[in-house]
Amino acid sequence: MTNAWIITTSNQIASLVEAARAIGPVTVIALGDEATGIAGVDRVVTIGRGSNAPLEAFAPAVNAVLEAAGADIVFAANRPVERVLAGAVAARLGLPLINGALRVSAGEAEVSRFGGLTQESISFPGGAVVVLEGGAPVEGAEVAPEAGSEEHYGASVSAVEAAGSGPANLAAARRIVAAGRGFKAEEDLQIARDLAAALGAELACSRPLAEGTAWLSKDRYVGVSGMHVAPDLYLAAGISGQVQHTSGMSDSKVVVAVNSDANAPIFEVADYGIVGDLYDVLPAITAALS
């Protein structure tokens, strides 16, 4: 039976575990101090605990574990450190790297292409390194970890400064309020933050708010080149609904759209649509929830 491997810097790996379980026994390579409390797998190997080297520098240690085992199916969470390590592992093991997979089954992955216009099926009979969204934490008793190699490239973190709000966890969010270019100014995002707080939701956005204006961090934008999310509720405010955006949120259970343009494409994927000015509609919903 083939063993499956997961590379992660956090315990939010439920989607990876589900995909890996379909292949065989699962070993997690857990990097850094945040990747604790991992449950629902067969083995956990820790690397880089308590170290001041950046986790990306531990590629030699990750490769050592995988090479010794002759690994041929490796999953990595779709997060910055894991993507770097996935590339290093794929190069070392001589395996194809399948980035941003939406779904994985035995020997096959579905990947979004051309800004979400097509979905490509890729088969990998000889194994692969597959990057896909991590998901929520796996519930259950923590698997007792064993220490792996600590070999890393020569780099160390010399200073850490707080930089505003913490990282978003959209992949695990059950409710999301997403803001688009319908917001006219950065400070206006407070309207979306207020609604998100009232709903117990994470704040997300379309790409222009993260890459054009940088009003929100890049880990908060949803879409084909951003995060793929599947919450119970996705409320899109001032987002037109281009396919590059909707391909990242189309697995949401309930979609609510607020847009002043009745012909906006977002209404085609919405379960509930409100044609109106978000500057009126969002505060009204927040007030109704309070």
Q: Which residues are annotated as a binding site for FAD?
A: 181, 206-207, 238-245, 259
Of 65, 144, 138, 131, the C-alpha closest to 98 is 131
Residue 126 or 283: which CB sits closer to ligand FAD?
A: 283
**Per rule CB under 6 A, is residue 239 in the interface with ligand FAD?**
yes
The site that binds ligand FAD (CB under 6 A) totals a number of residues, namely 28
**Per rule CB under 6 A, is residue 250 in the interface with ligand FAD?**
no
Question: Looking at 142, 146, 251, 277, which residue binds ligand FAD (CB under 6 A)?
Answer: 277
Phi and psi, residue 127, nearest 5°: 100, 170
**Per rule CB under 6 A, is residue 279 in the interface with ligand FAD?**
yes
Helix (H) or strand (E) holding 234: strand 233-237
**Per rule CB under 6 A, is residue 221 in the interface with ligand FAD?**
yes
Helix (H) or strand (E) holding 17: helix 14-21
CB-nearest residue to ligand FAD: 223
The minimum distance between CB 97 and ligand FAD, in angstroms, equals 19
Query: How far, in Å, CA of 45 to CA of 52, rounded?
Result: 19
**Per rule CB under 6 A, is residue 242 in the interface with ligand FAD?**
yes
Phi-psi region of 208 (alpha: psi -120 to 50; beta: other; left: phi over 0): alpha
Residue 16 or 237: which CB sits closer to ligand FAD?
A: 237
Q: How far is CA 20 from the centre of its chain?
A: 17
Residue 51 or 206: which CB sits closer to ligand FAD?
A: 206
First to last CA, the chain: 54
Q: Is 251 helix (H, G, I), strand (E, B) or coil?
A: coil
The sign of the CA dihedral 84, 86, 91, 92 is positive
The minimum distance between CB 87 and ligand FAD, in angstroms, equals 20
Beta bridge partners of 146: 45
Of 281, 265, 21, the C-alpha closest to 135 is 21
Which part of the chain contacts ligand FAD (CB under 6 A), choosing from 6-14, 125-133, 150-158, 244-252? 244-252
Letters for 179-218 (x = contact with ligand FAD by CB under 6 A, - = none) are -xxx-----------------------xxx----------
Q: How many residues does the chain have?
A: 290
Of 263, 265, 202, the C-alpha closest to 233 is 202
**Per rule CB under 6 A, is residue 260 in the interface with ligand FAD?**
yes
Residue 21 or 181: which CB sits closer to ligand FAD?
A: 181
Binding to ligand FAD in span 100-159, by CB under 6 A? 115
Interface residue list for ligand FAD (CB under 6 A): 115, 180-182, 206-208, 221-226, 238-240, 242, 244-245, 248, 258-261, 264, 277-279
